[in-house]
């Protein structure tokens, strides 16, 4: 079972394809959610999945920008608690902030790119505004990266542009 979300973008089902690496990140995000016994896939699960794939563009960008990856993981895990009961992958759903992050990633796709990459997802995670509802924190990935570790959106965007074209196509990853 694949965990890539289906999205509506400008009223239509998304016409964008995802890189193989981004599909792998979606699958790993589902694994992270199950491991934490969460019934949902949120931005925090996507960020943790990116950290597990060192060859992905988003991971390489974080390394290039000297983000302390162990600290990113530790801070992300600290912000949420494990759920009370085990969850099967078939029960998972994407949170609204997770889906919104992916829509923001689609907006970041520029000329020459024919697929949404993990680099685009990283931009979507960072652009996702932090919200809170009933004491629950949403957009945890953005909170960790931007507020806590001061990752700059424009620096990520610039690094993505410089990486595109490496790896066989304008996406920078397979």
The domain locations on the chain are 18-163
pLDDT per residue as tens, the chain (174 positions) = 556 666 554 444 455 688 899 999 999 999 999 999 999 999 889 999 999 999 999 999 999 999 999 988 988 888 777 888 888 888 898 888 888 888 888 888 875 677 889 999 999 988 876 554 443 445 666 667 767 777 888 899 889 888 765 544 445 677
pLDDT at 78 (0 to 100) = 82
| The two structure tokens encoding residue 56 | 């992905």
The CATH fold assigned to 18-163 is Double Clp-N motif (1.10.1780)
Q: Look at phi and psi of residue 27 and say left if phi exceeds 0, alpha if psi is from -120 to 50, else beta.
A: alpha
pTM for the full predicted model: 0.83
For residue 62, report the phi and psi dihedrals to the nearest 5 degrees: -60, -40
For residue 29, what are the contacts with CB-CB under 8 A and spacing of at least 6?
3, 41, 45, 46, 48, 49
Taking the alpha carbons of 122, 124, 127, 131 in that order, is the dihedral positive or negative? negative
d(CA 41, CA 32): 8
pLDDT at 133 (0 to 100) = 44
> Most distant CA pair in the chain: distance in Å?
46
| The two structure tokens encoding residue 99 | 């889906």
């Amino acid at each position: 079972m694949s965990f890539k979300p289906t999205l509506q973008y400008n009223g239509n089902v998304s016409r964008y394809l995802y890189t193989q690496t981004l599909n792998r990140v979606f699958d790993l995000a589902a694994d992270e959610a199950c491991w934490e016994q969460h019934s949902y896939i949120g931005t925090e699960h996507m960020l943790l999945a990116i950290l597990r794939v060192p060859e992905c563009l988003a991971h390489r960008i974080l390394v290039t920008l000297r983000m302390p990856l162990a600290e990113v993981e530790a801070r992300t895990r600290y912000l949420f608690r494990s759920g009370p009961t085990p969850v099967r992958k078939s029960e998972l759903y994407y949170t609204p902030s997770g889906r919104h992050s992916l829509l923001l990633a689609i907006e970041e796709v520029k000329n020459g790119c024919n697929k949404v990459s993990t680099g685009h997802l990283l931009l979507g995670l960072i652009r996702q505004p932090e919200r809170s509802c009933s004491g629950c924190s949403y957009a945890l990935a953005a909170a960790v990266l931007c507020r806590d570790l001061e990752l700059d959106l424009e620096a990520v965007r610039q690094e993505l542009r410089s990486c595109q074209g490496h790896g066989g196509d304008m996406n920078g990853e397979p």
